[in-house]
Amino acid sequence: MKSFDIPQFYNSPVISRIKNSRKANDPKKKNYSPTLLDFGPVQFFIARHFGFCYGVKNAIEISYKAIEENPDKRIFLLSEMIHNSEVNNDLKNRGVGFIMDTSGNEIISWDELKNDDVVIIPAFGTTLEIEKKLNDIGIDPLKYNTTCPFVEKVWNRAESLGRSDFTIVVHGKYRHEETRATFSHSKESAPTVIIRDMDETIKLGKIISGETGINEFYKIFHGKYSEGFDPEIHLNRIGVVNQTTMLATETTAISEYLKNIMINKFGLENIDEHIADTKDTLCYATHDNQNATYGLLEQNADLAIVVGGYNSSNTSHIAELCEEKLPTYFISSADKILSRNLISHFDFHNQTEKVTVNYLQEKSPLKIILTSGASCPDSVVDDVLHKILSYFENTKSIGSVLIDID
């Protein structure tokens, strides 16, 4: 796999060393069990796979290249490059402006842009409508295009399916930047509808089977389907693609559910004519992060700490998996660890931050799961580990613990 030139301060002495060791000993990722760091009174289970993925590294490399190559120009990002405040704040500190927020609301008016400005497309990609807007201004939207290659793979697959008269069902959060971009590209070549989860999938399945009336489609999926969508025609041949940060298992389950609906309606012998096989569009990093999380949850741990941006979809899914088994604290940085007894963490169900008391239980050894989302720098995870270690006495040195993993 390609190596990337990203700022050294995003790496870390501890986490990066663990990753390099695991990669050397298990290059094909056949073993998803975590790495144990035993400091004596506290132990950490470090996930086999987490942190910056291929797409994020690619986006960071291109963004810093844009800054280096254009010292005398104004540089803008369409919106957050990735969902991580550490990375976005560093870009802001280097003079990069943001045109929109993550919901697509203008921060800077399009009228303020000039044809000699530089605009960076974020890792989520962007819509065809915004690409046209930039071209009309005279700005090349593809010069510093950091769209994840795996997102583009989804777009290409959707286009291919559209040419074969398949309708595209996008599994994603319809307000998310990536899903908005995928929808924009997909609807150019195929009728497209967005579904959020299995609950909406079941509702769609009932419409396909005829259990629910056709007119209900327009109410249930209002604002989530392409212009001219006719459920009587366009739900007879479908292919499921996803927002790459959604749980791969959920996308697979959605596709299998709709496949069974199609089998019941059209017969097994005709199934290939009615639902396309799109397993090849699932993002490897999301798949690996999910499997690594399952590997973590096989451990007899006391709590989990998940690090990442609060608006990061893949990070919230990791936290969701962890909280099904044990107390889980979703934090954006070590600063959220307020003391030995207090932690400020994100409740993604209610989209609010809250403070929990006595999160570090009085156990010896205390066993902690530690992982992060795909857009979180290793250095931030390193800071979290160091801060928690500072609350324990008579711990082994980091150097001696790391020797055991090499």
Residues designated as active site = 178
* Strand (E) or helix (H) holding 398: helix 398-403
CB atoms within 10 A of CB 227: 7
The single-letter DSSP state of residue 390 is T
Contact (CB, 8 A) for 341 and 357 = yes
**284-297 vs 248-266: helix crossing angle, rounded to 10:** 110
Q: Can you tell me whether residue 221 is helix, strand or coil?
A: coil
Alpha helices in 116-176 (DSSP H): 128-137, 149-163
- CA 327 – CA 338 distance, rounded (Å): 17
What DSSP assignment string belongs to 13-80? TTHHHHHHHHHHH-TT----PPEEEE-SSEEEEE-SS-S--HHHHHHHHHHHHHHHH-TTS-EEESS-
- CA 21 – CA 124 distance, rounded (Å): 30
Name the residue among 47, 120, 144 with its Cα closest to residue 370. 47
- CA 204 – CA 210 distance, rounded (Å): 10
The single-letter DSSP state of residue 329 is E
Q: CA–CA distance from 198 to each of 172, 247, 257, 286, 312 (Å)?
A: 11, 12, 9, 18, 20
**313-323 vs 284-297: helix crossing angle, rounded to 10:** 20
Report residue 20 as tokens: 């390099």
Beta strands 342-347 and 192-195, pairing class: unpaired
Q: What is the largest CA-CA distance in the chain?
A: 69
Report residue 185 as tokens: 């590209």
